[in-house]
Structure 1
Amino acid sequence: MIGKYEKEIITKLLDKYEKSKSFIGENKINQKFSVKIASVFPKYTDHSNYEMFQELNEAIDVLVRKGFIIAKANSAHVYNNAVLNIDDLEEIYKYIGRMPKKGINKSVLELMEKYKGRNEILDRYFEMQYERIHSNKSIQYFSNDLIELENILVAVDELLKVDTETFVRDFSVRTFKDSKMFERIVAKVINLIYEFGNFPEKSQILGNLNVFKNPTYVNFKGAGSITIKGQKIELTNLSGDIAISSAMLNDIERIDVAGNAVITIENLTSFHTFSDENVFAIYLGGYHNCVRREFIKKLYKQNQNIAYYHFGDIDAGGFYILQHLKHQTGVDFKPFNMDIETLKSYSKYIKPLTENDRDRLSKLINSEYCMVIKYMIENNCKLEQEAINN
């Protein structure tokens, strides 16, 4: 059985080898791969720890006798360096029970080929990993566990197919036949989708893909009425909002707007404080999910001859949400209080942009909101909608 010191020495040497140009055949001269024993084991030269000194020397002696490393001791039997014998790599890998990196890369490439063409996010991820492998860089979201990597790929594939509200545990059972498997990989799955997809807010990804921990609701209020299974509720007469769960969505027969406009509102506080007797208001909660999206589509189908607005933060996220809302619902929402005049009127509440803000805003510079976007970048400002008195 291999000793812990033998394994650690060989592991350090193989790590160096696998990160080198020699590994990918790009080095024209013969490289040597060595480690300083005292750097790997700082207590090696501590004379008070003779037991460790002796065990380490025995481990080095074993590796030298097997021909796996080259090492010479001084007169005090202290080893300075250990050099990897690259002529015996196959046996060295077997000895420590480690799969060669070339074999791992081959398995990953085969796995990626299996899922190639499933969706654009995975294909973009694969394209980047092909480049990284051929440049001898680490594979993203891979921890030398092929089973975990395949589960991540499966999760990304299946998430993009979800078209109705699904709970996290149900998704996990349906996809993996294990109610907790998805929770174990969800962070890597979300990070991969965020990096290679087109989702401006990482925290909203699962909800946007219709996967939730709990049932979702649509909150709405204002000028109009809703008819559910023959029961008509006059919203205009109510002093506040009402909410329906996703389970009731199919029971809605009509949504009639009595006023002249519909407005979606990004943040909850702003939704509760918003008041206009001629407007039907819907709480969006950031990026809309399938429930709010379908509610809006039902409403629009029966109320097409009125104005539609979106009220959100005057920042990159707010405009991305507006774009996403328009694209996903097919409704031409116009920005409400998301302009230069509003920024000027509430200048005492503005906040400076972060580097991430600037990067995201720059991607919107040629959009229909270009004037306010340019103003924000030039004047280093953004504004939360809670600061606005509507």
Structure 2
Amino acid sequence: MRMKTTYDILNALLDRYERSATGKTELSLETGNAVNMLPGAGRASGERSDGTGPEGQFPEKRLENVEKPARRIWFHFNRKNLPAYFDDTSARPKSEINESCLVLAGRGLIEIRWVKHEEGNLIEKVALNTKAVGDAYRYLGRKPRAAAASEVCALARTYSAGAPSWAASFFSCMAERLSRGESVARYFDIGDLERVELLFKAVREAAVLKDETPRRVFSQRVLGDSKAFDSVAGSLARAARDFHPAFRAGEGEGEGEREGWEQKEVLAELGLVDNPQHLFISGPLKFSVEGRVVDTEVFTPDLGLPSEMVRQMEVLEISAERVITIENLTAYYEFIKRHPGRFLTVYLGGYHNSPRRLFLTKLRGYLEAAGREVAFYHWGDIDYGGFTIFNHLRGKCGLELKPLCMDVATLRRYEQFGLPFDRAYGQRLRRLLEQEEYRLFHEVILYMLEKGIRLEQECVEVDR
């Protein structure tokens, strides 16, 4: 038998032990001191400021007095848990597993329960000896979850100091969850301390980014390796979705906004991009940068503005009939080809990031100061993502934004190009019907649900 099978059995028992009441209690006691030392965290009643208990005992010493659970922790031998044991083509795997389990039992790590009348031949299940848990960890070369969690809490304390509020909230929440024996697997594996520290570094440094930064540059500068960021990018995006004010529900937005953001879009909102991004615009606009005037009508069919130019620009003149933001690139180029010069058209690239919103905010500010009224429209897909992008743009920029070709009439006209969606997608759409901020789209959402279709904007020709 491969030794891995024995390790798998013992590892599975320890996994269940750590999820048990005793494992969680030990975890809570072990990590409690680290959590209490986080900025703003309270202390348990009777605990002194030096982190010791009422009698001066440190948490790890109090673990010795934890009462063991009455309920045994078992690993059942069946075809699902251990298929090799029931291999009908060879008796060798079963024999070797039996021998290995006898070795573990001889070390006092497990207790074997044999099938009745099959003693010595067929194992029914094995139980972990909870009084020898420390020996089991040492046998596997595995770090106890309580010890690993304690180290993560200490890291959280270190990285929380001086971190921006959303990052500090993330660190504090992780430590608090660990102190209660709750899972943090959504973000990281506490057993992989090296990767946890990479993530904590990425969270802290991403929280203070002011300029768009290529991911590889960020990775090299912050993590010491141009590819290291790839291993924590997903975790960083999940942390930002849950803790960054730009994504949290309850700040002028519904839950749908947070659900709609994909990893790449979340990272772009933080300023982390594959490569430097340009804002593509087409139409009549004049602005100045460091005293130099730029007339965008000179550039055909459009002009790409770097984010640094957007920050420095001062709008001088807008002579367009409308300002129109467009979600997808193909639709953007088809639109400016059909309507040259009439509108000031902005390509959003899916979810808009801060430079795009800053550009729109500057346009709005100029028009308000000039006492002019120019309507702002957004054209996107007639689908869940299109609705959430519209709503997020309207809320973040403070615009009286109107939807363009995102209504029932458009869906009916191009119904033959509609794409089907599944039940889960339909449930997400139904949730938008419960939110007042999506009232503009309730009629078209009801039609989508009736027909079971959504529509991508590339199918649509805008005639107005």
Instruction: State TM-score, norm by structure 2.
Output: 0.70
What is the alpha-carbon distance in structure 2 between the residues aligned to residue 207 and residue 255 of structure 1? 29
What is the alpha-carbon distance in structure 2 between the residues aligned to residue 150 and residue 122 of structure 1? 15
**How many matched pairs?**
388
The 5 Å alignment of 1:153-192 reads: 153-192=200-239
Query: What is the Cα deviation at residue 263 of structure 1?
Result: 1.5
What is the alpha-carbon distance in structure 1 between the residues aligned to residue 186 and residue 165 of structure 2? 18
Deviations 1:315-343 (A, max 9, x none): 23223222322333344333223334433
The 5 Å alignment of 1:1-390 reads: 4=4, 6-21=6-21, 23-24=23-24, 29-36=70-77, 40=82, 42-43=84-85, 48=90, 50=92, 55-71=96-112, 77-80=120-123, 81-112=125-156, 118-120=164-166, 123=169, 127=173, 130=176, 134=180, 137=183, 139-143=185-189, 144-194=191-241, 198=247, 199=258, 200-202=260-262, 203-227=264-288, 232=293, 234-236=295-297, 240-249=301-310, 252=313, 254-274=315-335, 275=339, 277-304=341-368, 305-307=372-374, 308-354=376-422, 355-356=424-425, 358-359=427-428, 362-363=431-432, 365-377=434-446, 379-380=448-449, 381-390=453-462
Deviations 1:27-65 (A, max 9, x none): 974325244398636257768565x56654543333233
The 1:360/1:37 distance shift into structure 2, 3 A limit, reads closer
What is the alpha-carbon distance in structure 1 between the residues aligned to residue 414 and residue 3 of structure 2? 68
What is the alpha-carbon distance in structure 1 between the residues aligned to residue 319 and residue 344 of structure 2? 8
Deviations 1:55-103 (A, max 9, x none): 5454333323322223377888435143322222222222222222333
The 1:256/1:122 distance shift into structure 2, 3 A limit, reads same
- Unaligned 5+ runs, structure 2: 26-66, 248-257
Do the aligned partners of 1:165 and 1:290 also contact (CA within 8 Å) in 2? Answer: no
Which stretch shows the higher mean deviation, 295-304 or 247-256? 247-256
Q: Secondary structure of 1:303's partner?
A: helix
Amino acid at match of 1:221: S
Deviations 1:290-317 (A, max 9, x none): 3323333343343332322222223232
Instruction: State TM-score, norm by structure 1.
Output: 0.81
- Unaligned 5+ runs, structure 1: none
Which stretch shows the higher mean deviation, 205-214 or 302-311? 302-311
The 1:243/1:341 distance shift into structure 2, 3 A limit, reads same
What is the alpha-carbon distance in structure 2 between the residues aligned to residue 194 and residue 262 of structure 1? 29
What is the alpha-carbon distance in structure 2 between the residues aligned to residue 367 and residue 75 of structure 1? 66
Alpha-carbon RMSD: 3.8
Do the aligned partners of 1:13 and 1:34 also contact (CA within 8 Å) in 2? Answer: yes
Query: What is the Cα deviation at residue 145 of structure 1?
Result: 1.0
Do the aligned partners of 2:22 and 2:68 also contact (CA within 8 Å) in 1? Answer: yes
Q: Secondary structure of 1:243's partner?
A: strand
What is the alpha-carbon distance in structure 2 between the residues aligned to residue 173 and residue 315 of structure 1? 38
The 1:357/1:238 distance shift into structure 2, 3 A limit, reads farther
Q: Secondary structure of 1:215's partner?
A: coil
Q: Secondary structure of 2:305's partner?
A: strand
Q: Secondary structure of 2:446's partner?
A: helix
**Sequence identity of aligned pairs in percent?**
28
What is the alpha-carbon distance in structure 1 between the residues aligned to residue 402 and residue 280 of structure 2? 20
What is the alpha-carbon distance in structure 1 between the residues aligned to residue 380 and residue 86 of structure 2? 62
Q: Secondary structure of 2:454's partner?
A: coil
Q: Secondary structure of 2:10's partner?
A: helix
Q: Secondary structure of 1:174's partner?
A: helix
Amino acid at match of 1:282: V
Deviations 1:327-385 (A, max 9, x none): 33344333223334433444444444542354256246433440422441354153322
Amino acid at match of 2:12: K
Q: Secondary structure of 1:325's partner?
A: helix
What is the alpha-carbon distance in structure 2 between the residues aligned to residue 75 and residue 321 of structure 1? 64
Q: Secondary structure of 1:306's partner?
A: coil
Query: What is the Cα deviation at residue 121 of structure 1?
Result: 7.0
Determine the structure 1 residue equivalent to 2:40: none
Deviations 1:257-283 (A, max 9, x none): 122322111111222122164321111
Q: Secondary structure of 2:105's partner?
A: helix
Q: Secondary structure of 1:343's partner?
A: helix
Deviations 1:192-217 (A, max 9, x none): 43456524221311222221121211
Which stretch shows the higher mean deviation, 144-153 or 66-75? 66-75
